Structure 1
Amino acid sequence: MFDVIVIGAGVIGSSAAYQIAKRGFKTILLEQFDFLHHCGSSHGESRTIRATYPEDYYSNMVLESSRLWEEAEAEIGYKVYFKTIQFDMGPSDDKSLQAVISSCKKNSILVRVLDHSQVYEEFDGVFKLPEDWIGVVTEHGGVLKPTKAVSMFQTLALKNGAMLRDNMEVIEIKKDEVQGGVLVRTRNGEEFYGKKCVVTVGAWMKNLVHEVTGLMLPIQPLETTVYYWKIKQGFEDKFTIQNGGFPTFASYGEPYIYGTPSLEFPGLIKIAVHGGWPCEPNERTWVAASPTAVDSLKKWIEARFQGLVDPSGPVMSQSCMYSMTPDEDFVIDFLGGDFGKEVVVAGGFSGHGFKMAPLVGRILAELLADGVAQGVDLKYFGIGRFDGNPRGNVKGFDCQVTLADSRCD
């Protein structure tokens, strides 16, 4: 019997397996596909890390995650986290952007608010903002390498004694009435026994939890597309971390647009809309986003970068998935019911949870070991917040994720 069975080997599950095994627990990590697959939410070439959140409770979580990313890097011996500054921009009266500024000040994060002319000077003419926009600069930004990071956590889990098994699709989790703990059964007929269990299956969370308990978690998978755009010849260095000090960035408003420096593909920059369209994870189309989304990116690139980036169209695209909750907050909680505190679920990371993976992994390990997590208030992430309140946590600003009903609008 294992002490802990971790189901789902994306970045959250792999981080959890590492943190649990590191504490001396006999751990097994199960993955329904091949390890490091591209079918979920934890693959690709880059993710941003930033502490600029309109919600007060995320900023310090990011700072702690940054420390834990570096700690894991030191253990493995290579880098997955490349630091730069974070640049947020948008209309000066945007409620979300104003909430970002307030949150940074409340959490003692040094923030500089610039007008459009100061932004132009700050970034050597790379960004041009409308006169009624502002820019927000903080030191806590950067790029994470997703597939490399997942591999790092899996390797560290192995080094700490965990067992890893892929191509193990879990179809049943139930209480083990004979030995105690839980019994996990896979589609190929294998059975695993554990004292406790962690479920971190991303876009498959709603379906698996419903099949196991009848509980319908409000986690909606979204299919999304990221795009890479060509930097005009001669300006490539302006968009790199190493030579240009180029930031990770986000543009508030409709739509919310984000991007990373030129890092993974020389001469290309990633710029995408934060959003997607509802899907079933096993029935994805793998088709690029709607023409409307691409058109909005073209217009934004043309207006912001003044000819330094080719706005005629992306040269590369990659498909991914979000797991959205109605309030865009995570679900990290004991499953409860018949399972009590023997099963913990972590999902609904809503397109912004990758950066938090080291901390979430630690939280899950602490919940299983001690029943409580240290230094983090989990009240915002409880399953019960949706009881009689389908929208979850109440916020004073609009949803940042753009939802499309189809790809053909």
Structure 2
Amino acid sequence: MTVSKYVVVGAGLAGAATAWQLASQGHEVTILERSVPANHAGSSHGSARIFRYAYPEDFYTRLVVESKVGWDELARLSGKQLITPTGAVDYGSTRQPERLASVLAANGVEHELLSADEARSRWSQIAFDTNVLWHPGAGVIDAETTVTAMVDLAVAEGAQLETGWEVSALRPSGKAYTVHSADGRQLEAENIIVSAGGWLPDLLGNLSLPEAFLAQVPRIHVRQEQAYHFPYKDGSPEPAENWPTFIHKREGIQTYGLPGGRDAEWRGQKVAEYNGGKILPSASAQDGRIDPANRQRVIDYVKEYLPGLVPEPYAETTCLFTNTPTEDFIIDKAENITVVSPCSGHGAKFAPLIGQFAADLATGAAPVPEEFRVGVRSQPATH
């Protein structure tokens, strides 16, 4: 039977980052991926995720600043552009741009507060309805290229990548664990890092985790989100770099958008409702179907608030958000099993740092922030 010092389950952003960190530290690593890295059934595919610094909590903005160091190192080592700079605007009656600005100021992040009229004079393609926070350091993450870069670096450092390896259970085996696959294969490992994203609800009960730990794991909701690509109007600012990413938050609803990049053939904006999709028991229940009511709400939103777009989507897709009730991540360890991060729709920007935290926790090199330990946070999120 194959034996490995560290096994990472899942090769999305968090798992790939963890494997890269472990391998670069000289550890023996095997990556087990149920399909292929950054596959379209998971949450880390495609070329369009938002990188931003603006959070109403100092904790997360500080982590973005720290994470950017890892992004710069990853770009240097891979020789690839992973974040395309666009800047970001935040606005809306419940987005609190003034509060966001105070957090950015406390962390030395460049930003401006603009009136709605000032913002419209810069970005006439957006119909702002409140004051606006602008921070130019934001951008768009190419998630798929990032995963590939981290896996390639891990493999170059000696990691083994096993694709088509669907983990079904872990069982204690002396001082180690036996990892069982859905097709009957087995692998022995001393330490397991489980970064299974939307498949975690299916796996949790089969990981041989202590009951006391399992009882503290927050309820995990998997959502099948929906996103739509709208073409730029003739005469509107083009190309896409003239469009910032945006978060527009009103009472009871949040809409976001970003240049669609490769996913949208470089000719449109990706627009979606945040947590607007149906809740699934796990990723295995996704069906890829678009809710017509959700589509119409987003079309109506584009008509009202995005005059620079044609309000007719030319492409649409579904993807998975795996959420905790507080939208905080999970990075915690029980015995030699480390559970990593349902990332609640905002985790992509932290990928290098999540990998560092998970690797340090798994090896015992350093603790993780208490906010990511199970059972610690209980207040609703404001991210």
Using the size of structure 2 for normalisation, the TM-score is 0.91
Structure 1 alignment gaps of length 5 or more = 386-391, 401-409
User: 1:199-234 CA deviation, whole Å, 9 max, x = no partner?
Assistant: 000011122112223626311111011110011123
* Mapped partners of 1:236, 1:115: distance in 2: 21
The residue aligned with 1:80 is 82
Q: CA deviation at 1:159?
A: 0.6
Q: RMSD across aligned C-alpha pairs, in angstroms?
A: 1.9
1:6/1:197 contact within 8 Å kept: yes
Written as runs of structure 1 = structure 2, the 5 A alignment for 1:200-211 is 200-211=195-206
Q: CA deviation at 1:261?
A: 2.4
Aligned residues: 370
2:11/2:36 contact within 8 Å kept: no
Give the match's secondary structure for 2:61. helix
Q: CA deviation at 1:251?
A: 0.7
* Aligned partner letter, 2:186: E
* Mapped partners of 2:97, 2:327: distance in 1: 16
Q: Of residues 340, 365, 370 in structure 2, which corresponds to 1:379?
A: 370
Give the match's secondary structure for 2:261. coil
Q: CA deviation at 1:79?
A: 1.4
1:380/1:393 contact within 8 Å kept: no
* Mapped partners of 1:224, 1:86: distance in 2: 22
The residue aligned with 2:256 is 258
Written as runs of structure 1 = structure 2, the 5 A alignment for 1:199-278 is 199-212=194-207, 213=209, 215=214, 217=217, 218-235=219-236, 237=238, 240-241=240-241, 244=242, 246-253=243-250, 254-261=252-259, 263-264=261-262, 265-275=265-275, 276-278=277-279
The residue aligned with 2:186 is 191
The residue aligned with 2:171 is 174
* Mapped partners of 1:43, 1:230: distance in 2: 21
Q: CA deviation at 1:262?
A: 5.1
Q: CA deviation at 1:42?
A: 0.8
* Mapped partners of 2:165, 2:379: distance in 1: 38
The 10-residue stretch of structure 1 (362-371 or 157-166) with the greater mean CA deviation from structure 2: 362-371
2:240/2:259 contact within 8 Å kept: yes
* Mapped partners of 1:207, 1:97: distance in 2: 39
The 10-residue stretch of structure 1 (154-163 or 69-78) with the greater mean CA deviation from structure 2: 69-78
* Mapped partners of 1:89, 1:171: distance in 2: 44
The residue aligned with 1:302 is 303
Distance 1:270 1:382, change over 3 A: same
* Aligned partner letter, 2:184: G
2:125/2:237 contact within 8 Å kept: no
1:110/1:138 contact within 8 Å kept: yes
Q: Of residues 45, 59, 69 in structure 1, which corresponds to 2:61?
A: 59
* Aligned partner letter, 2:116: H
* Aligned partner letter, 1:257: T
The residue aligned with 2:135 is 138
User: 1:140-177 CA deviation, whole Å, 9 max, x = no partner?
Assistant: 21111111111111111111110000111111212221
Distance 1:197 1:142, change over 3 A: same
User: 1:16-74 CA deviation, whole Å, 9 max, x = no partner?
Assistant: 11110000001000011233321111112210100111222111211222221121121
2:28/2:158 contact within 8 Å kept: yes
Q: Of residues 8, 24, 27 in structure 2, which corresponds to 1:25?
A: 27
Structure 2 alignment gaps of length 5 or more = none
* Aligned partner letter, 2:221: Q
Q: Of residues 390, 394, 407 in structure 1, which corresponds to 2:379?
A: 394
Distance 1:59 1:368, change over 3 A: same
Q: Of residues 311, 335, 347 in structure 2, which corresponds to 1:353?
A: 347
* Aligned partner letter, 2:29: T
Using the size of structure 1 for normalisation, the TM-score is 0.85
